[in-house]
Structures are given as C-alpha cells and as structure tokens.
C-alpha cells in the first residue's frame, strides 16, 4: 500500500505541476493578449492625440493668420489713404502753380500789348468796352 500511495502522490504532484504549468501558460497568453490590446489602445490614443494636436495647431495658425491679415489690411488702408492725400496735395500745388504762371504770363502779355498801342487806340477800346457794358441782354 505504501508503494501505491507514493505513486499516487507522485502522480498527483506531476498533475499539479502540469496544472501549474498550464495555468502559467494561460496567464502568459492572457497577458500577451492584454498587452496587445493595450498596445492597440495606446496606438489609438496616440492617433487621437495627434489629430487633436493638429487641429489645435490649425486653429492657432488660422487665428494668427486672420489677425495678421486684419493688421495688414489696416496698414494697407492707411497707406492707401496717405498716398491719396499726398497725390491730392501735389495736384493742388501743381494747379495753383499753373494758374499763377498763366496769370503772370497774361499780365506780361497785357502790359506789353498796352505799351505798344497808341493813346488813340486805347481810347477807342475804352469806348467799345463801355458800349458793350451798357448793352442789356
């Protein structure tokens, strides 16, 4: 009977060892599965984080671009108005200078014309001018 008990104990130990090994293998497989699933979930989280970061960068870049666009358009408007004002002032100065030159030239022409006429011609012109002024339209 002793031999049989010893055999049973040995068999029992072996079966227990086999069960332990099987459970260890199953645990390893489960760990591998959970590790793979956590790797997949981590990769999904990384992809989601990348999308969120790219969206945040896009939003930031877009707001900076619109801010700079507004600033540039304001600067363009100011420069355009200033350029128009300078051109207008230049035109007015040119117009006044032209009128002065014309009036001076006409004055000199009138003076030279007046000096070349005889006294009689001047009196005839005065009569004609007075007669034209007396005509009522």
Local confidence band at 15 (pLDDT 50, 70, 90 cut-offs): confident
What's the token pair of residue 92? Answer: 């007015």
Q: Where does the chain show beta strands of DSSP type E?
A: none
Q: How would DSSP label each residue in 75-110?
A: HHHHHHHHHHHHHHHHHHHHHHHHHHHHHHHHHHHH
Which of 9-18, 28-37, 40-49, 88-97: highest mean pLDDT? 88-97
Q: How far apart are CA 92 and CA 86, in angstroms?
A: 10
Residue holding tokens 């011609």?
121
- pTM listed for this prediction: 0.37
Domain boundary assignment for the chain: 2-134
User: Mean pLDDT, the chain, as a whole number?
Assistant: 79
What's the token pair of residue 21? Answer: 């090994």
């Amino acid at each position: 009977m002793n031999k049989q008990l010893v055999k049973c104990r040995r068999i029992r130990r072996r079966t227990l060892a086999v069960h332990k090994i099987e459970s260890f293998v199953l645990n390893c497989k489960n760990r591998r599965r959970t590790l793979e699933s956590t790797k997949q979930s981590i990769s999904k989280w990384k992809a989601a984080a990348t999308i969120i970061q790219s969206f945040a960068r896009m939003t930031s870049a877009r707001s900076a671009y619109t801010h700079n666009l507004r600033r540039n358009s304001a600067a363009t408007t100011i420069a355009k108005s200033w350029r128009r004002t300078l051109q207008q002032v230049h035109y007015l100065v040119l117009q006044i200078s032209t009128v002065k030159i014309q009036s001076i030239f006409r004055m000199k022409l009138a003076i030279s014309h007046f000096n070349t006429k005889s006294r009689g011609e001047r009196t005839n012109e005065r009569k004609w001018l007075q007669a034209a002024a007396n005509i009522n339209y």
